[in-house]
Amino acid sequence: MNYLSRTVWILSWVSLFTDTASEMLYPIMPIYLKTIGFSIVLIGVLEGFAEATAGLSKGYFGKLSDLSGKRVPFVRFGYALSAISKPMMAVFTFPIWIFLSRTIDRFGKGIRTGARDAMLSEEATPQTKGKVFGFHRSMDTLGAVMGPSVALLYLYFYPEDYITLFLLAFIPGILAVGATFFLKDKRKVQSPSRVSTPFFSFLGYWSESPRAYKKLVAGLLVFTLFNSSDVFLLLQAKQSGLDDSAVIGVYIFYNLVYALFAFPVGILADKLGLKWVFILGLGLFASVYYGMTVTSGFYGFLALFFLYGIYGSATEGISKAWISNITEKKNLATAIGTFTGLQSICSLFASSLTGLIWFQFGADIAFLTTATMTVLVLIYFLFVPKP
């Protein structure tokens, strides 16, 4: 396991701590916001604005990282902002303060994503990209298992004590920031001359990017347009008769499967090829969405969320590994930041589109539409050259 370098391990632990902090609050965030007076519409506006902030900033700070030749400052500052935002939401309950704290959290994600993924790529060879990104995703998602589990356990003993939970989430956040001080930039950086970098300048990378990058990212973005929030899957499970504990249970189970399979699937991708494992993931995704229209009962949903966990392990880290294999090192953070930025914007439209179809035609049509479009994207990827 020589390919898991010191830097890969540190970044993986940082992600685990951060995701633990974030996912401690995920199950209770909508409930908490409603208790302090937020309507469903205002919650939607809050999440949309926060995700848009993260999406647009990923590309900008990715390019800034490439231009400066530095990675660690962006990683450290990004994780620090996310850590600080957790207790902020417990201090005041004014809507403008909640908007500010949530935006700071997502802004931190935007600052760190491109630089962090570039660091992971620089620690790997083309033959080990799947393993490295898979291992990182595995550790990251393990935090998504630990976080909700801690929250459920705490709220079992202290029902509705949301404020304390926000303060407790600060602890793993600080551990994450502390771990970043063990990171070092790989190369010595010449002091660059000051260059004006407009906020949307990263979009210019699209025109100068390799043809293979355009083909890959175009397919990924079309898929994202129909890949709505996991909330819709959980809502379907709830409407099919599962109680709240069972719904949260299958969500934790999904993250556990994702965490357990991300690393071995990454190893498989390095052997079989990133492209074929990614296509397999798309097939599983389509199967899950088709299955949502006919499944009922706890064990049926457990089986679907098992497949959904494997889908996650076969796509998210793999897609970034694929991008890094067709991008020049000097543009790594820009390439990944541009993709993840555009992906975040597409995700907003995806959830809005799915919600609209669900409202107008029902849940089954919404899931069938997503599954059918995924099959078409899968066919497209059969003709995309392998990295």
What residues does each domain of the chain span?
6-183+203-382
pLDDT at 2 exceeding the cut of 80? no
- Tell me what the pLDDT averaged over the chain comes to: 85
First to last CA, the chain: 23
What is residue 159's predicted lDDT score, i.e. its pLDDT?
81
Q: What average pLDDT does the segment 317-323 reach?
A: 88
**In this predicted model, which residue has the larger pLDDT, 242 or 2?**
242
Please enumerate in sequence order all residues whose Cβ is within 8 A of that of 271, keeping only pairs 6 or more positions apart, or say none. none
**In this predicted model, which residue has the larger pLDDT, 1 or 373?**
373
Q: What average pLDDT does the segment 219-233 reach?
A: 87
Report the 10 Å Cβ neighbour count for 191: 7
Whether the model clears a pTM of 0.75, i.e. scores above it, the answer is yes
What is residue 27's predicted lDDT score, i.e. its pLDDT?
66
pLDDT at 56 exceeding the cut of 80? no
| Orientation angle between helical segments 6-25 and 72-91, nearest 10 degrees | 20
Which helix or strand (DSSP H or E) is residue 106 part of? helix 95-122
According to CATH, the topology of domain 6-183+203-382 is: Growth Hormone; Chain: A; (1.20.1250)
What is residue 208's predicted lDDT score, i.e. its pLDDT?
80
- 143-202 pLDDT per residue, tens: 888 988 888 888 888 887 888 888 999 999 999 999 999 998 876 555 454 556 666 666
Q: What average pLDDT does the segment 256-267 reach?
A: 90
